[in-house]
Structure 1
Amino acid sequence: MKNQKGFTLIELMVVVAIIGILAAIAIPQYSKYQARAKVSAGLAEAASYKSGFEDLLNSGTTVSQTNLNAPASTGNCTFTFTDGVTGTIQCALVNPPTVIAGGTILLTRSSTGWTCTSSAIASTYLPKGCAAAANAG
């Protein structure tokens, strides 16, 4: 009798089951990674304007998008700048993953320094040092 070569149906089913289990674990983790990366990128872009913001305030110039030489939006943020001693830099996330849809990052200047808060972004997706709003989770 000839020896047959190849895999049995049971062996193939076991391999497919293992791949399915790995995918069930990996896909949610990848989604979480995407959300965290988007928030971190938005925070980095917003934070890059802090020194220019301070420089404008110290020189007595009004803080604005034009004076900061900032774009209206980038691949990660749509910016809003508020002038004043307690001025703000707001980044509304552009094309975020579903779990952080509608999320914004707010850098607020005070006499003690800058603070980071967010809205519509759960603390799970925020970098250290950035606090979630009370209703964000």
Structure 2
Amino acid sequence: MQSIQMNQKQQGFTLIELMIVVAIIGILAAIAIPQYQDYIARSQMNRAYGEISALKTAAEESLMRGQEPSDLASIGYTGSSILTGSGTSGGTGTEVDFSSGDGSGTIQGQLGGDASTAISDAQIILSRTSEGTWNCAVKENGAGGWDDSFLPSGCSKS
């Protein structure tokens, strides 16, 4: 009688194969998670800049009519989940100040609320000169998570 030897196929993975897969996933996660958090911070900073920049048109219109924008509601600000406050001149958070009487002033937004911790408490300040030129400056939060890549294009760090 002949002995028949049957080859059994391997079923499942070996321990070393599983360890290699876990190591690869760990390396990818170590690279991807910080990159994703930076992406979120940059996109939120650009979103806040866009929301504040949209108020420039209404501020210009008020100034052309001879009225100084006195608060955020007067220039159409409706609130944001990543900007804080709703103050007027002298307040904190998101505010507008055109009290100089010569057309110069600022529209300022402070990040907070649902903003990433890397940019929370940073301020975006849009300044208008009496000649009508707008400038953008960003004050970082000083929390240590700030990166200059978070700056919206056209803005400088102050």
TM-score (norm 2): 0.77
**Offset of 1:112 from its aligned partner?**
5.3
SS for the counterpart of 1:99 is coil
Unaligned residue ranges in structure 2 (runs of 5+): 1-5, 85-93, 142-146
Q: Give the Cα–Cα distance (whole angstroms) in 2 for the partners of residues 66 and 20 of structure 1.
A: 49
- Which amino acid counterpart does residue 139 of structure 2 have in structure 1? S
The aligned residue for residue 24 of structure 1 is: 30
- Which amino acid counterpart does residue 60 of structure 2 have in structure 1? E
Q: Give the Cα–Cα distance (whole angstroms) in 1 for the partners of residues 122 and 42 of structure 2.
A: 12
More strand by share: 1
TM-score (norm 1): 0.88
SS for the counterpart of 2:76 is coil
Q: Give the Cα–Cα distance (whole angstroms) in 2 for the partners of residues 24 and 114 of structure 1.
A: 41
The alignment status of 1:46 with 2:52, answered yes or no, reads yes
Unaligned residue ranges in structure 1 (runs of 5+): none
Deviations 1:28-51 (A, max 9, x none): 100100110110010000000111
**Offset of 1:113 from its aligned partner?**
1.3
Q: Give the Cα–Cα distance (whole angstroms) in 1 for the partners of residues 22 and 149 of structure 2.
A: 32
Single out whichever of 58-67 and 31-40 deviates more from structure 2: 58-67
Report the structure number with the largest CA radius of gyration. Answer: 2
Q: Give the Cα–Cα distance (whole angstroms) in 1 for the partners of residues 120 and 14 of structure 2.
A: 46
Q: Give the Cα–Cα distance (whole angstroms) in 2 for the partners of residues 29 and 8 of structure 1.
A: 32
Q: How does 1:90-101 map to 2 (within 5 A)?
A: 90-95=108-113, 96-101=115-120
Runs of 4+ in 1 over 6 A off after TM superposition: none
Size of the aligned set, in residue pairs, is 132
Percent of paired sites with the same residue:
39
8 A contact 1:123–1:131 mirrored in 2: no
The aligned residue for residue 77 of structure 2 is: 70
The aligned residue for residue 115 of structure 1 is: 135
